[in-house]
Amino acid sequence: MHFIKEIIKFLLSKTISLKFLERLSQNIIFREIIKKKNPKIVSNVSGSLKKFNQDSWNETLRHKVWEKIPEHIDINSNIIYLEFGVWKGNSIKYFAEKYKSKDSEFYGFDTFYGFPEKCLDMKKGYYSTSGALPETSDLRIKFIKGLFQESLADFLNKLKPESKKKTVLIHFDAPLHSATLFNLFKLNEQFKSYFFIFDQFGTDECRALNNFSKSTMLDYDLYLASIMNYSPEVVFGKFNN
């Protein structure tokens, strides 16, 4: 019997990859989080991903959450908005248009050469703009080019004290566990309470948030969520520290 068990373990080790186990654990994690935090579900859709283009995806999942954020952050507020994962700049421009105060600040972090490694079903370099920054006429919007691990610390060290006093909204839109976890720990050194958006929460992002929250014992609320095929896509909430 012992020999048979060892054979089964060996076969499982060859057929079940670490990535498969990570995805399985993420499924458990996000289900527990959504059940415990009980956000308001503002969009719940199912079906084949092939029926969505970028515009319909935004309208059906992202914008349904984004348009409710002013119920929690007044549109007349002076905010500082940090976005991790910019690509063409659609998200940062959306929030700059929503929060028009001349004293609000908007910063987008990206390599602009796509993912530094394979991510989900996307190859290294996916979302590349070949290094080109998004075009904008809004002088409040600034882009910080490079890996988060190389750019964020210097940015935070140079951030003015008056900027830190503004309402903080962080947009996590880079579904790599290592990058998201690094950002969460580094941001915690400067911002003890802030609003956040996770753009693809059913991926490595939920695992990064769960690891961070447990490691620091920091609690948070989830206010809003959109659901795609029973998996949370976009969530909005706030750290309570």
Which pLDDT band, with edges at 50, 70 and 90, does 11 fall under? Answer: very low
Query: Under a CB-based contact definition with an 8 Å cutoff, are residues 180 and 213 in contact?
Result: no
Which pLDDT band, with edges at 50, 70 and 90, does 58 fall under? Answer: confident
Can you give the pLDDT at residue 131? 79
Give the Å distances, CA to CA, from 1 to 10, 13, 15, 46, 196: 14, 19, 21, 45, 52
**Domain positions in the chain:** 2-239
pLDDT (average), residues 213-240: 95
Note the pLDDT tens digit of each residue in 92-137.
999 999 999 999 999 999 998 866 666 556 576 556 677 789 999 9
Residues 109 and 145: their CA atoms lie apart, in Å, by 6
Residues 98 and 197: their CA atoms lie apart, in Å, by 15
Quote the mean pLDDT of the chain.
87
Does residue 77 surpass a pLDDT of 80?
yes
Does residue 14 surpass a pLDDT of 50?
no
In 10 A of CB 167, how many CB atoms?
17
User: With 0-12 CB in 10 A as exposed, 13-18 as middle and 19+ as buried, what is 125?
Assistant: middle
The alpha carbon of 206 is separated from its chain's Cα centroid by a whole number of angstroms, namely 9
Note the pLDDT tens digit of each residue in 40-50.
999 999 877 66
Does domain 2-239 bear CATH number 3.30.70? Answer: no
Which pLDDT band, with edges at 50, 70 and 90, does 192 fall under? Answer: confident
